[in-house]
Amino acid sequence: MKMPAPDAALIARKGEIVRALSRIVPGEGVVSAPAALVPFESDGLSAYRQTPIAVVLPETTAQVSEILRWCQANGVKVVPRGAGTSLSGGALPLADSVVLGLSKFNRVLEVDYPNRCAVVQPGVTNLGVTAAVADRGFYYAPDPSSQIACTIGGNVAENSGGVHCLKYGLTTNNLLGCELVLMSGEVVRLGGKTLDAEGYDLLGLVTGSEGLLGVVTEVMVRILPKPETAMALLLGFETVEGAAATVGDIIAAGVIPAGLEMMDNPAIRAAEAFVGVGYPVDAAALLIVELDGPEAECAELVGHVERLAAARGANFLKTSTSEAERLAFWAGRKAAFPAVGRIAPDYFCMDGTIPRGRLPQVLARIAELSAEYGLGVANVFHAGDGNLHPLILYDADIPGQLERAEAFGADILKLCVAVGGVLTGEHGVGVEKRDLMPEMFDPTDLACQQRVKCAFDPGLLLNPGKVFPVLHRCAELGRVHVHRGKLAFPELPRF
């Protein structure tokens, strides 16, 4: 993984840069001592580390605006950062960059129940949004597993999902508006309390843009009334095929569960050893199905799902009988990553999405690759929407294993694309999948995306080295390709 070559002249200007930032954010708002920069070297993708020139922690939109304006005028690269939980290296600093941390933007500004929305600062955690509205029976639907720590600003940047997005959508489907500061320092407001926005849907464009288009300084989210009841089922299968077929049957029966998760045997064992919630450790695959709504609906659908699972050979079947038990069913799944962290020193989490019908084939191929690379793999899977999370186990202290794990991961993602899927379902491209983008997109596709980048940040100063494998200068991309010469379709009527 190569980052853009750092600009030594810029790094040499550290003193001047720190002074300028300190003028904008006085007090303790600028971090520049080498030891104090260590916590900002990496994010959730801990395989990669880089110390930035400095970290700046503004508290107001005006400060963010001034920082970006100064950095643009002085050619300084900026890497925005929320809680730093990105699994794709979205907040990985560059040696010649300033990290702009939004951790001090941590207030809930407004809850508007009649219009079912909350206005929060980007540093509020995902769970913090729900906490702010829970006493009135509301919640914020997207629930990435890192929701205790990850921030709503980071969720906007990554278009984060979670186990409930099958029914309730990703971040993009639950956002109403935001305040965005452009690299020029200009502040724009996108969307609002209305359902549809005016003009081009820049809110939709910015969501999931991985911090490359602007810095979000305020977020307006949709909040939902909590479902009356929620029940979860654990379904154990002797074969992966049986579990996969059951997922297809559930959807085909017209049931969209609130959550529909699958774990393979290594993941079941790791999770059970970690939390001990009664998962069937001998099963080849485990489904966790959550159904929510009125009690009458849950009862009917639970029976329906149980029958479908039994018909596909489920030999372990357990339905939650209390809220505590439902949460226990989820505890293993939500702790799958740390659980796997206990059985291997390091792991990479892949994030491809595939057409669900290809699951048995893809899992079989992943098992073959695991043997070929000599690295273990545990699979957790947002089965309902086809989003795979193979966890590749390796030991970074053993020479060569990191590179082997990277190559294994790349093979899995290429496989996802080859069967009609995509590189990333919810974690983002970041640096991790950046060089695989040509697997999905040809140079013209990428040029179209980069021109959008140029419309927001013509100097390419915001979060460089992420998402795009090759960065073209905006002037070069801006040239209009004029189609001359022989007509491609002479038989077509002409004007």
Partner 1 sequence: MLDTAIKVLKPTTADEVEAIVAEAGATARRIEVIGGGTKRAIGQMDPVDIVLSTQRLDRILDYAPDELVLTVQPGVRLADIEKLVAARGQMLAFEPPHLTRLLGARGEPTIGGVLGANLSGPRRVRAGAARDHFLGFAGVSGRGEVFKAGGKVVKNVTGYDLMKLMAGAWGTLAVLTEVTLKVLPAPRTETTLLLFGLADVRAAEAMTLAMNGPFEVSGAAHLPAFAAQAAPLKAEMAVTALRLEGCEASVAARAAGLAAALKGFGRIDTLDPEHSKAFWAQVREVEAFVGDPRPLWRLSLPPAVGWRGPHGLPGDALYDWAGGLACLLTEEPAEKVRAVAASLGGHALCLRGGPAFASRQGPLGALQDRVKAAFDPLGVLNPGRMDGAA
> In whole angstroms, how close is the CB of 371 to partner 1 at the nearest point?
27
Nearer to partner 1, 121 or 424 (CB): 424
Nearest of 104, 99, 133, 146 to residue 121 by alpha carbon: 104
Nearer to partner 1, 275 or 366 (CB): 366
> In whole angstroms, how close is the CB of 55 to partner 1 at the nearest point?
26
> In whole angstroms, how close is the CB of 184 to partner 1 at the nearest point?
8
> In whole angstroms, how close is the CB of 227 to partner 1 at the nearest point?
6
Nearer to partner 1, 64 or 283 (CB): 64
> In whole angstroms, how close is the CB of 328 to partner 1 at the nearest point?
23
> In whole angstroms, how close is the CB of 282 to partner 1 at the nearest point?
29
Nearer to partner 1, 321 or 444 (CB): 444
> In whole angstroms, how close is the CB of 54 to partner 1 at the nearest point?
27
Nearer to partner 1, 210 or 272 (CB): 210
> In whole angstroms, how close is the CB of 123 to partner 1 at the nearest point?
21
Nearer to partner 1, 197 or 273 (CB): 197
> In whole angstroms, how close is the CB of 342 to partner 1 at the nearest point?
28
Nearer to partner 1, 117 or 375 (CB): 117
Q: 159, 172 in Cβ contact below 8 A?
A: yes
d(CA 407, CA 156): 29
Nearer to partner 1, 16 or 110 (CB): 110
Nearer to partner 1, 300 or 346 (CB): 300
